Amino acid sequence: MFSLPDASLSLLNLEHMESCGLIRENLNLILDYIIQNVKLHSKRRMNMTEKYGRSFTGKVALVAGGSRGIGEGIVRRFASNGAAVAFTYSNSEEKAKRLAIKIEAAGDKALPIKADSASANDIRAAVDQVAKELGELDIFVNNAGILIRRTIGSYSLEDLDRMLDIMSARHLSAYKRPRSI
């Protein structure tokens, strides 16, 4: 692991990496690594219950797109604050299983679910599985998303529809709304 100041690069290095195409090709890998491995220089981690006066103990959360990056952080935070957390993944089964094992090793509950967030049937099945294995759903976070890397002029209507389908929670809202906490 390294600390944030060690991770900083000079503008010259960034410009060189950009000109070689390294940043564009590896940006997701770089951001995932930083999110998962960089220790920020905070004196203490803020607990959500301290800031909002709520405990997530006994709550059930579903995070769409929760196996890596920001979604992984959301899953970890809910779990560490007492929620039983289910999360969906589309391709990274190994990462999803590793995350669930880490959460369960800390004494919390985690349930990885393979689901295509653009599919109403997959989202319905995920909600049903959460209800069956963890209890009634209290919290839903839609963190799923994709980016098709092309110029805007080369996007097809189907490409745009897929991106919007994944990034919207309309499938869940048509099926069942989580109760407010």
Question: Residues 62-88: pLDDT tens digits?
Answer: 999 888 888 999 999 999 999 999 999
Report if pTM > 0.75.
Answer: no
Residue 109: pLDDT band (50, 70, 90) is very high
| Mean pLDDT of all residues in 2-28 | 52
Asked if residue 140 has pLDDT above 80, the reply is yes
Q: Is 118 helix (H, G, I), strand (E, B) or coil?
A: coil
Sign of CA dihedral 96, 92, 7, 148: negative
Neighbours of 116 (CB within 10 A): 16
pLDDT of residue 174: 44
Domain ranges (residues) in the chain: 4-37, 48-175
Asked if residue 8 has pLDDT above 50, the reply is no
Torsion of CA 58, 60, 65, 66, to 10 degrees: 20
Distance between start and end Cα atoms, the chain: 36
Q: Can you tell me the distance from the alpha carbon of 35 to that of 87, in angstroms, rounded to the nearest whole number?
A: 18
Supply φ then ψ for residue 114, to 5 degrees.
-75, 125
Neighbours of 153 (CB within 10 A): 5
Domain 48-175 indexed as CATH 3.40.50.720: yes
